[in-house]
Amino acid sequence: MVNAQEWVDNNYLNKKGMKELKLGSEDLEGILDLNEFVDLEWVELWTNKISSLKIDKCVNLKVLNIDVNELTKLDLSKNINLESLSISDNNFPEQDLGFLSHLTKLLHLAIQSYYREKDTFFYNRFKGSLKPLKNAKIKELFIANTNISEGLEYLPYLERFLVGTGQDLSINNSFYNFTNEKQRPHLQGYTKIFNNLQKRAVELEREKEVENEQLGQLSNLLFPNQPYNFDQLKQEIARLKHQELALKLRNKKTEFEQLITTTKKKAGESLERTADLLLKTQKQIFQAKETPQKDKLKIKVEAYCDVLEGNLTQEELKNLLTKQTELCQFERHLENLQQNQEQLTRQIEIPPK
């Protein structure tokens, strides 16, 4: 596992202006403060081990997914623009939904404990009524394996919902088969909801057909006169993407080398070695996995910067280090794409073109 705050601080030096942060399943743990990312609108932190999240200054946030973590509380008092909130499979103590009553723009809410069994003593313990959500226009609701037991009548816009076996909301037991005549006595007052859900199911089926047709057309462009094969198409798209990113990486390296040359020239011949050591150490920080090792390397970086500040401004040094980190991130992304491409190649046999 990796310390969440350190990982984010090391990998995102320029926080202002960022609108999306997607860090699902990155083995992050501990406390995470995102308040420097003041422009964030979309955050994904699912499947980590984050125990505390601070986002009270992220007032533009619209989407937050922190499913499958270790939260016991979450301050959303300033996040009034949230439209989608997913906090399923955390460890919230017994409480009602009053802490969500101010989220009037909420359309999607997931607070269930789907992946964890209750006998582990690690699950969301939400209870009571859905009434605190009455001012929102929630369309999707996921509350399986919680103790929410009433208040569905306060959600007239609801189109899709999931409850657990035994939860009594006048409608119980997962997604409903609303065509079952035996269930109809329990569905009085919810006809509109289920009609909308049925209509949406038809729409989704049609959308699926259109998507498959479009994928078939794309496959025909890449593999004329061959039957549509999704794995083959995916492998070819991955190859083309890798080819595109490899070209971009070469250009980025060229630009960075030019920046290094300019920086060294301004620093002076006597400090060229110091500049090289600075960049080498910064790259080691990016590659290091252990926190103590990173801390030692950061001390070295600060020392090199102090020496170079005689000839270079703090802004120039910051820009140099930021560009190098971005280049390292790009290289890692390309390496991951190459590994995925190789894995796909092993899984399928590509017909000769």
Q: For residue range 11-67, what is the model confidence (pLDDT) as tens digits?
A: 999 999 999 999 999 999 999 999 999 999 999 999 999 999 999 999 999 999 999
Q: What is the pLDDT confidence band of residue 207, given thresholds at 50, 70 and 90?
A: confident
Average pLDDT over residues 119-138: 88
> What are the tokens at 159?
């189109």
Lowest mean pLDDT, pick from 115-119, 178-182, 197-201, 225-229 = 178-182
Q: Which pLDDT belongs to residue 186?
A: 41
Q: Which pLDDT belongs to residue 155?
A: 87
> What are the tokens at 145?
């394996």
Q: Which pLDDT belongs to residue 185?
A: 39
Q: What is the pLDDT confidence band of residue 221, given thresholds at 50, 70 and 90?
A: confident
Is the per-residue pLDDT at 129 higher than 50?
yes
Q: Which pLDDT belongs to residue 86?
A: 96
Q: What is the pLDDT confidence band of residue 193, given thresholds at 50, 70 and 90?
A: low
Q: Which pLDDT belongs to residue 153?
A: 82
Lowest mean pLDDT, pick from 20-34, 37-51, 124-138, 226-240 = 226-240
Higher pLDDT, 348 or 166: 348
Q: Map residue 21 onto helix, strand or coil.
A: strand
> What are the tokens at 291?
């926190």
Average pLDDT over residues 107-129: 81
Q: What is the pLDDT confidence band of residue 317, given thresholds at 50, 70 and 90?
A: very high
Q: Map residue 221 onto helix, strand or coil.
A: helix
Is the per-residue pLDDT at 85 higher than 80?
yes
Name the pairing type of β-strands 20-22 and 42-44: parallel
Question: Where is mean pLDDT largest: 152-156, 225-229, 272-276?
Answer: 272-276
Q: What is the pLDDT confidence band of residue 200, given thresholds at 50, 70 and 90?
A: confident
pTM of the shown model: 0.51
Contact call for residues 90 and 111 (beta carbons, < 8 A)? no
- The share of the chain scoring above pLDDT 70, in percent, equals 85
Q: Which pLDDT belongs to residue 219?
A: 82
CA angle 274-279-284, nearest 5°? 120
The tally of CA atoms less than 13 A away on the side-chain side of residue 250 is: 5
Mean pLDDT score across all residues of the chain: 84
Higher pLDDT, 34 or 251: 34
Strand partners, 336: none
